[in-house]
Amino acid sequence: MTLTQKILARHAGLDRVEPGQIINANVDLVLANELSAAVAIGVMRGMKGADRVFDANKIALVEDHFVPAKDAQSAKLAKLMKDFATEQKIKHFFDVGRGGIEHVVLPEEGLVAPGEVIVGGDSHTCTYGAFGAFATGMGSTDIAAAFVLGEVWLKVPATIKIVYSGTLKNHVYAKDLMLRTVGELGIDGATYRAIEYHGSTVDALSITGRITMANMAIEAGAKNGIFHADEKTIAYVQERTDRPFMVERADSDAIYERVIAIDVDDLEPQIACPHTPDNVHPISQVTREDIPLDQVFIGSCTNGYIEDLRVVAKILQGKRISPNVRVIVNPGSQKVWMQAAEEGILTILAAAGCAVNTPGCGACFGGHMGTLGDGERALSTTNRNYVGRMGSPKSEVYLSSPATCAASALTGIITDPRVVDAALV
């Protein structure tokens, strides 16, 4: 069996599962944010006899999409979730100032671990595959059922195995690697499949890099993206929790639907051009003509980590951003924000002319603190660039790594970070 099959079989109480098989699987954690929780709570209220959640310690509720609340309606959604957490005695409730973006907060709080099954009312729940867990997003009705039953039904996905080889060059990051992967697969090339990441290249990635890649599995349509847990993974998790967990491994004779090999030795920084995440090109092709920017956004559950902010600060230190562009930075969580403050990163960013916001998802989905207007163009570290994703349907969004965003912030046009680096030397 593949890694995904191994985890699902154990959680379904079966010796073996096959792709396409429908199973009921016990869950280790159920996640919702203020948007998905509002619907799920309403559905749960309508279930006969569903007065209590199955386990108050296995549910996480994170306020992160409209934070701080932008209007009365978003405040109402936040209060509804907070009241539910109080009523159900849910321990893992993260309010403004004590949490951040759900997919950043849960790993740093030790709420995800290898071998677990995690479901969430957000498509980027697949992020936790970075830790060797099966993690997937579901609709709010399914989340309501998971609240009450502690299990979900799902179809076992077939698995695409991707093997990466080679060494990433200077200013080429996990984000570039995943953009290249989405470009290879297409936005529907892995629909309802598991992506299993292999190879020396990804073995060398930091936990943050693996998070970025697992996070964007959904951009290729995948049910989940998953890495094998190694010593880095286990050390990260054990620093944050002492609960037991089981590390699974794919069998040596596992059957994969496809096996794809990607060599990264010559990989350039990558850009996803409007209006799909698979419209990916090497930056040398994109910068043949000047592409002026109105906004650069750095953050999100894809690239809002301290490692990302360090890259940005190194490029911006002692310099000023272009007067023609606004730069918005959202640290991924309160802990990331505090660490960035302690390291002087926030001061570097502010001195360069960046606006540093409260941790949250708002700008990423065009909801709050960073929406685009008609005719505006943004370069973003986020995961999607569909029409209207960050605001006006008459705007354009390009996707890149934090390094490319930082370099472009200095020039006001999409810029290869390797060129800026060479100019500074």
Structural domains of the chain sorted by starting position, each given as residue range(s) with its CATH number in brackets = 3-262 (3.30.499.10), 270-424 (3.30.499.10)
For 76, which DSSP code?
H
CA distance 295 to 69: 23
Q: What totals of helices (H) and strands (E) does the chain contain, helices first?
A: 16, 18
CA distance 319 to 285: 27
C-beta of residue 410 within 8 angstroms of C-beta of residue 390 = no
At 52-109, the pLDDT tens digits run 999 999 999 999 999 999 999 999 999 999 999 999 999 999 999 999 999 999 999 9
Strands (E), 115-176: 117-120, 134-137, 151-155, 158-165
CA distance 269 to 187: 20
At 306-338, the pLDDT tens digits run 999 999 999 999 999 999 999 999 999 999 999
Q: Quick one: which of 31, 117, 70, 64 has its CA closest to 301?
A: 64
User: Can you list the alpha helix ranges (DSSP code H) found in 61-217?
Assistant: 72-88, 102-108, 140-149, 174-185, 200-203, 207-215
Indicate the burial class of 59 (C-beta count within 10 angstroms; 0-12, 13-18, 19 or more). Answer: buried
The pLDDT, as a whole number, for residue 423 is 59
Could you give the C-alpha distances from 29 to 63, 134, 221, 327, 353, in angstroms and in order? 17, 11, 22, 35, 40
Q: Say how far residue 268 (Cα) sits from the centre of its chain.
A: 22
The pLDDT, as a whole number, for residue 425 is 40
| Residues of the chain scoring pLDDT < 70 | 421-425
Per-residue b or e along 108-136, where b marks 16 or more CB atoms closer than 10 Å to that residue's CB: bbebbbbbbbbbbbbbbbbbbbbbbbbbb
The pLDDT, as a whole number, for residue 372 is 95
The pLDDT, as a whole number, for residue 161 is 98
